[in-house]
Structure 1
Amino acid sequence: MATSPSIITRDVEKIASPTGNIYQSVSVISKRARQISTKMKEELNNKLSEFASTVDNLEEVFENREQIEISKFYERMPKPTSVATDEFLAGKIMFRKPDIDELSR
């Protein structure tokens, strides 16, 4: 993911232009961010489950550097909202506007 981890200013006009409405654009971005977040959480949980222990030994907690490194890696990754916004602005997110008939059902 080539997303900048720092805070940047976004052009509201660019965000609104794909949908024609800033609120619809934010809705699309938020739904994609939720997907990314869920995927990242599943990956992290799968990696950390390898270290799961039924015995809580104080020595094991302090000695597991590998588990700490995995957690730090995920903490340094760009936030899902930043990734989703970059994908949206690059035109990588597919979305559709429902017809009025679909909304009335």
Structure 2
Amino acid sequence: MDYKDTKAAISTVTYNRNLLEAPTENIYEAISIIAKRANQINEDLKKELVDKLEEFATYNDSLEEVFENKEQIEVSKFYERLPKPTALAVEEWLNDKVYHRNPEETV
């Protein structure tokens, strides 16, 4: 998923509790689902960042010296400016983009 073109809030936002719990009718279950999705998003972003930084990595025989080039710094700054994974997960939840099911419920 492309997290760069999202409309998620970059700063702290207060959400309507009723909107958050509406799909599950249980605020704790909704928060649990949002937290699991935020963990998935965080893993995806971390993997993507590491892959991009590896492209610019310069390897040395000396372990004491670590060189950072301008491209690595720019990539890192870009990812720091993205919304937090929890904000992305809440946005997906409120826009009904998160699939969830309760295995204990019988159909």
TM-score by length of 1: 0.85
RMSD: 1.8
Shift of 1:66: 0.9
Matched, 1:23 2:4: no
More helix by share: 1
After superposing the two structures, state which structure 1 stretch, 47-56 or 1-10, moved more. 47-56
Matched, 1:73 2:78: yes
Query: Which residue matches 1:61?
Result: 67
2:74 maps to a residue whose letter is: E
Name which of 12, 19, 33 aligns with 2:17: 12
SS of the counterpart of 1:13? helix
C-alpha separation in 2, matches of 1:32 and 1:100: 21
Name which of 21, 43, 49 aligns with 1:44: 49
Shift of 1:100: 5.5
Shift of 1:37: 0.5
Query: Which residue matches 1:86?
Result: 91
Shift of 1:52: 2.1
User: Share of identical aligned residues, percent?
Assistant: 43
C-alpha separation in 2, matches of 1:8 and 1:33: 16
Q: Which runs of 4+ in 1 moved over 6 A?
A: none
Shift of 1:53: 2.3
Contact 2:56–2:71 (8 Å) recurs in 1: no
C-alpha separation in 2, matches of 1:100 and 1:44: 38
Q: Structure 1: which 5+ runs fail to align?
A: none
Contact 2:58–2:67 (8 Å) recurs in 1: no
